[in-house]
Structure 1
């Protein structure tokens, strides 16, 4: 599927449904990042809202904003060239080559504004799904689907945070889209664009997740997936039901995952200090609110041993997106937004 097709809205009015489009940009030279998200929440009882989100990260200095509005006040349009989203002060336009987003959000203490454009760089790769087949994207399981129309994005633009202004030229990131009847009961998700230490150019990308889903009213054990792209090679670890070939360990604020599969073995380590994170309240249509402990400047290391090639290491000191979804907030990550 194309990036345009993967970004098309899946909203079905009158159903329990949560759906988000999000963009991330990271400075390859320092622990600075911005994350922007547009969300739809609907329920069978007729409740429907839209949410505009922005989070900024600068070492241990972080801040997050969320604005709720009636769904009627938002606009989600799909057309032949892509998608146009407008949620109050947040706008997002997505095409087959990249996209733009702009907006301003304020709370009682701080204001953030952004004007960001992103595009697929040369060799940036096709859209990425960690699920083994596209058929699962239309099935009831898992309860929340994730695709990454732009796993590597070249960014430019600016972010103004209070009195500071960041120039995003040379930053790298990604654009993702998820949807389902609810957020997963528990998960850890990670993504990282690995860049050359000399010139900041991207050379590899990794995305992984360990999470639980509901099947027949019961919660499954942790199910994990991982995809690594390095140059022209892709290493997939996507046999989600082979639990004996996965070793996930979620011990906030650290997550480790070892996977075995047809392409070899891969071991992932991700961590972030609680002071580098924000806590976001993620509502569910028909269940209790969950809490996303969210970093976009996490440390990442991976060891990959392919079946048909030499083993290699991937490392990033502050380029990782790392999220834990938990049923209750964690005191070390505050305040709750």
Structure 2
């Protein structure tokens, strides 16, 4: 299953009268220190309204908490040329990620590039789900693992990100899930770049009743990609704002993944929906992540990724 253009902007094709949100984002983490960055270019369009853009920048450093967070309005979003999304002079595209933002006396900028060998991950199990109106939330990962180089500038100080592992993602939809969890992990101890976890778990509220948790995503173990979750597989969730444990079933595999970080290492945002409502979201992109992988006929595998996991929890 491969979409023709997984990185293509969706907001230019939204039908009149429908709302829309869309985000391109990246995370990169220091290979050995609990330090990382999360950058998000986002678009929100109320029904019949223009695609208004925002830039989000968060620098995580567990040795100097809390995270440094900057978010600014960035005008109307456009797409084309060398950029999947362009917000003023800030661009996010296949060859580079460049931008700047200033708010509340803080000033940040970034000039990054990435290289990746992994194919995109489509979280939804069928291609038609990405073009149909339902589900209302679409998610895919353009690069489940990547290696970044370039620099960040934070209040005049330069941070070199050469060799930082990370990922590049893309999501969009008509409305956010009622509640969601995103967990991502890479650069696990004693494993290469072809071992990673990327899973989204959500609860929907299409009417007065909220659905059970549904997981979609994958584990790559030494290059073998294993789909996790789906409508027919029950996921177990224990989620608090500073830690989460997921039991994720797949075909012939079960993954128990646990992410945690000190409460002060999380950033808190509100995620706006096209209808004007908002979700409260906490995110730590330098969380500790451990996994136990159980497969039929094989000994369990234990993975550790200190400070190299991402954990996000969103809810009303």
| Counterpart check, 1:303 vs 2:299 | no
Match of 1:291 in 2: 280
Write the deviation string for residues 20-43 of structure 1: whole angstroms up to 9, x where unpaired: 111111111111111111111112
| Counterpart check, 1:167 vs 2:186 | no
Question: Among 205, 212, 228, which residue is 1:214 paired with?
Answer: 205
Residue 228 of structure 1 and its aligned partner are, at CA, apart by 0.6
8 A contact 1:52–1:66 mirrored in 2: yes
| Counterpart check, 1:36 vs 2:36 | no
Match of 2:60 in 1: 57
| Counterpart check, 1:138 vs 2:127 | no
Query: C-alpha separation between the residues in 2 aligned to 1:132 and 1:215?
Result: 20
Which runs of no fewer than 5 residues in structure 1 stay unpaired? 328-337
8 A contact 1:131–1:238 mirrored in 2: no
Residue 219 of structure 1 and its aligned partner are, at CA, apart by 2.6
Question: Among 177, 181, 184, which residue is 2:170 paired with?
Answer: 177
Match of 1:152 in 2: 145
| Counterpart check, 1:18 vs 2:42 | no
Residue 108 of structure 1 and its aligned partner are, at CA, apart by 2.1
- Structure 1 residues 258 and 16, CA, compared in 2 at 3 Å: closer, same or farther? same
Match of 2:71 in 1: 66
Question: Among 77, 98, 103, which residue is 1:102 paired with?
Answer: 98
Query: C-alpha separation between the residues in 2 aligned to 1:3 and 1:165?
Result: 38
Q: How does the TM-score come out when normalised to structure 2?
A: 0.91
Q: How does the TM-score come out when normalised to structure 1?
A: 0.86
Match of 2:49 in 1: 46
Query: C-alpha separation between the residues in 1 aligned to 2:220 and 2:88?
Result: 36
Match of 1:332 in 2: none
| Counterpart check, 1:224 vs 2:215 | yes
Write the deviation string for residues 215-245 of structure 1: whole angstroms up to 9, x where unpaired: 35643122123411022312222322433xx
Superposition RMSD in Å: 2.1
Residue 3 of structure 1 and its aligned partner are, at CA, apart by 7.9
Instruction: Find the residue that maps to 1:214 and give its secondary structure.
Output: coil
Report the number of matched residues.
311
- Structure 1 residues 48 and 5, CA, compared in 2 at 3 Å: closer, same or farther? closer
Which runs of no fewer than 5 residues in structure 2 stay unpaired? none
